[in-house]
Amino acid sequence: MPAVQETVDQVRRIDVDQYKFGFETLIESDKAPKGLSEDTIRFISAKKNEPDWMLAWRLEAYRRWLTMREPTWARVNYPKIDYQSYYYYAAPKKKALTSLDEVDPEILRTYEKLGIPLREQEILAGVEKADGTRSRVAVDAVFDSVSVATTFKEELKKAGVIFMPISEAIREHPELVKKYLGSVVPVTDNFFATLNSAVFSDGSFVYVPEGVRCPMELSTYFRINEKNTGQFERTLIIADKGGYVSYLEGCTAPMRDENQLHAAVVELVALENAEIKYSTVQNWYPGDAQGRGGIFNFVTKRGDCRGKNSKISWTQVETGSAITWKYPSCILRGDNSRGEFYSIAISNGHQQVDSGTKMLHLGKNTTSRIISKGIAAGKSNNTYRGRVFAHQKAKGARNFTNCDSLLIGDQCGAHTVPYIEAKNSSTIFEHEATTSKISEDMLFYCRQRGMSAEEATALVVNGFVKDVLQQLPMEFAVEAQKLISISLEGSVG
């Protein structure tokens, strides 16, 4: 078997091929004209019943975007993107399946390996029930109760947590959205963020009021309410003074996704004593064995530790996408604030990953920690790119960075590009990086005890990424571990 991520390989037929043949299944009324223009943006805004200020905001971003150029500094190669050849508001409608029997058996095998309950598999594979409601199936499957979603909603409401699609928040909580949207990732931040600002489809909005500890992992809730948010996701999470929230984006199981270009923006704001934990598992379609197709993932994620003693923690497991361009960052503005970044980036086949983080120390006694584990297999290239910066006024800034790369096979590349900039003497920055292959001794030890080459590799790799896995919310850590094994299938032996 060629070095392909089996996890997501199965999506090939339904996914990219269908994409290649166009969007014939689209519902006409929901379709904006192909290409990007002010009209497209007006169309999107009108579709979402947005207030005028939001439209003006989008248009301003669009005009700005026209003057910007696509960044080329990342170590990724892809054919030039023709931005006029995409649909910006017409998330392709998925072909409705009526039972699991119609689902590709490959997908089912993967689910089985991940240990996902049967009913949950249905929603992941996009099976629709006769009444056309998908979420209901999931609710049944996962929680065995029709009313769980409502229970959750009520529980959140009781706590005062606002959690809704951002398009709703724009209408219902304009004061919060106006105050925070674009305050961490400015409209003009970078090419992809500006594009997102102009055309963002939907995403989540979370507001945790003062002193509230969000009563549940928002992940769980998110999973059952997952709707097709389209390719330009916009997420805004605010934890007010003393608030705490843990949010999980994505899912360990493969989601079908027909959009090739993704440019998401995630903004986190942590005020005094607040903490936000943001975890991501991304395993979108990485392209076929020859490197054709696959998703381009250009994401801007940034957290702002605005208040004293605030904390933002990013955890990511990246196994999918043909191109990943992603640098979840922390602006450590408040004194004593803390930023964390834990990452596992696995690339196989022809995947190209250029990911890392930025820790900008601006406040006094700010601390940050970066643990990045890159695993390159097949013909992939895996780059860690990070920046740690201490401002002259950031007395006592402290950073520890550890980025390790593992190479599996002799046709892949692993690269490390850290920028470490200290502008005052009380800063202590430590950085270490290693690159090596899996120890023959370890493999031999495992093989000798009767494990197959693949099992042995998976075991060693899981040991390699343990530090990061531990940071994931409990229920996902187990799935992620299996996901890693599956991602690397076909890369050894």
**Residue ranges that bind other proteins, judged by CB under 8 A:** 73, 392, 405, 407-437
In the complex, the smallest distance separating the C-beta of residue 351 from other proteins, rounded to whole angstroms, is: 15
In the bound state with other proteins, the residue whose beta carbon lies nearer, of 282 and 380, is 380
- Asked if residues 399 and 371 have their Cβ atoms less than 8 Å apart, the reply is no
Angle formed by the axes of helices 52-66 and 38-47, nearest 10°: 150
In the complex, the smallest distance separating the C-beta of residue 421 from other proteins, rounded to whole angstroms, is: 5
In the complex, the smallest distance separating the C-beta of residue 381 from other proteins, rounded to whole angstroms, is: 9
The single-letter code of the amino acid at 467 is: D
In the complex, the smallest distance separating the C-beta of residue 457 from other proteins, rounded to whole angstroms, is: 13
In the bound state with other proteins, the residue whose beta carbon lies nearer, of 124 and 414, is 414
Q: Which among 473, 98, 99, 471 is positioned nearest to 251, based on CA atoms?
A: 473
In the bound state with other proteins, the residue whose beta carbon lies nearer, of 136 and 431, is 431
In the bound state with other proteins, the residue whose beta carbon lies nearer, of 28 and 440, is 440
- Asked if residues 358 and 332 have their Cβ atoms less than 8 Å apart, the reply is no
Give whole-number Cα distances, 331 to 198, 219, 297, 359, in Å.
24, 24, 23, 6
In the bound state with other proteins, the residue whose beta carbon lies nearer, of 127 and 390, is 390
In the complex, the smallest distance separating the C-beta of residue 377 from other proteins, rounded to whole angstroms, is: 9
- Asked if residues 76 and 354 have their Cβ atoms less than 8 Å apart, the reply is yes
Give residues with Cβ within 8 angstroms of 59, minimum separation 6. Answer: 38, 41, 42, 198
In the bound state with other proteins, the residue whose beta carbon lies nearer, of 433 and 451, is 433
In the bound state with other proteins, the residue whose beta carbon lies nearer, of 173 and 415, is 415
Distance, CA of 337 to CA of 269 (rounded, Å): 12
Distance, CA of 165 to CA of 162 (rounded, Å): 10
In the bound state with other proteins, the residue whose beta carbon lies nearer, of 423 and 466, is 423
In the complex, the smallest distance separating the C-beta of residue 454 from other proteins, rounded to whole angstroms, is: 17
In the complex, the smallest distance separating the C-beta of residue 310 from other proteins, rounded to whole angstroms, is: 24
Give residues with Cβ within 8 angstroms of 386, minimum separation 6. Answer: 327, 356, 357, 358, 359, 370, 372, 401, 403, 417, 418, 419
Torsion of Cα atoms, 71 then 73 then 75 then 78, to 10°: 30
- Asked if residues 36 and 86 have their Cβ atoms less than 8 Å apart, the reply is yes
Distance, CA of 252 to CA of 257 (rounded, Å): 14
Distance, CA of 347 to CA of 21 (rounded, Å): 27
In the complex, the smallest distance separating the C-beta of residue 74 from other proteins, rounded to whole angstroms, is: 12
Give whole-number Cα distances, 42 to 46, 53, 58, 264, 483, in Å.
6, 12, 9, 20, 41
Question: In the 8-state DSSP scheme, what is residue 416?
Answer: E
Distance, CA of 234 to CA of 280 (rounded, Å): 14
Beta bridge partners of 390: 361, 422
- Asked if residues 38 and 87 have their Cβ atoms less than 8 Å apart, the reply is no
Distance, CA of 255 to CA of 229 (rounded, Å): 12
In the complex, the smallest distance separating the C-beta of residue 437 from other proteins, rounded to whole angstroms, is: 4
* E-state strands within 22-85: none
In the bound state with other proteins, the residue whose beta carbon lies nearer, of 25 and 411, is 411
In the complex, the smallest distance separating the C-beta of residue 399 from other proteins, rounded to whole angstroms, is: 9
In the complex, the smallest distance separating the C-beta of residue 359 from other proteins, rounded to whole angstroms, is: 13
In the bound state with other proteins, the residue whose beta carbon lies nearer, of 101 and 440, is 440
In the complex, the smallest distance separating the C-beta of residue 372 from other proteins, rounded to whole angstroms, is: 13
For residue 179, what is the enclosing H or E element? helix 174-180
Phi then psi dihedrals of residue 219, to 5 deg: -55, -50
In the bound state with other proteins, the residue whose beta carbon lies nearer, of 119 and 395, is 395
In the bound state with other proteins, the residue whose beta carbon lies nearer, of 190 and 282, is 190
